[in-house]
Chains A and B, each alone.
Chain A
Amino acid sequence: MIKNHFFIAICLALFTFFYACKQDKKLPFYGERHAETVKDANGTEKIDTVYQTIPNWSFLNQDSVVTTNKATDGKIYIADFFFTSCTTICPTMHRNLMTVYNEFKSNPDVMFVSHTIDFKYDKPSVLKKYAQKLGVDGSKWQFLYGTKDSVYTLAEKNYLVAVGEDSTAKDGYIHQGYLVLIDKDRRIRGAYDGTKEDQVEQLKRDIPVLLAEYKK
Chain B
Amino acid sequence: MRKFIIHSILICSVIAIIISCQNQETIDLQNYMSNGKDIYKAKCQNCHGENGEGLGQLAPPLTDSVFLKTNKARLACIIKNGASETLVIHDKTYQEKMPGFPELADIDVAQVMVYVTNSFGNKQGFVSYDQVSTQLQNCK
| Chain A residues within CB distance 8 Å of chain B | 87-92, 94-95, 98, 130, 132-135, 170
Contacts and interface: CB of A to CB of B under 8 A. Distances in A.
B46 interface: yes
Contacts of A87: 46-47, 99
Interface secondary structure of B, over-half rule: loop
7 cross-chain pairs, A with B, having the tightest CB-CB distances, nearest first: A133-B57, A135-B56, A91-B47, A134-B56, A91-B46, A133-B58, A87-B99
A91 B55 CA distance: 8
B46 A92 contact: yes
B58 A91 contact: yes
Interface string B40-59: 00000111010000011111
Contact of A130 (B46, B47, B58, B99): B58
A89 B124 CA distance: 30
A89 to B, nearest CB: 7
Contacts of A133: 56-58, 96
A13 to B, nearest CB: 43
Interface residues of B, number: 11
13 contacts: A87-B99, A89-B46, A91-B55, A91-B58, A94-B55, A98-B56, A132-B57, A133-B56, A133-B57, A133-B58, A133-B96, A134-B55, A135-B56
A155 B56 CA distance: 27
Nearest to B98: A87
A91 B57 CA distance: 12
A88 B44 CA distance: 9
Contacts of B56: 98, 133-135
Nearest to B59: A91
A89 B57 CA distance: 17
Contacts of A130: 58
Contacts of B57: 132-135
Contacts of A98: 56
B43 to A, nearest CB: 9
A25 B113 CA distance: 48
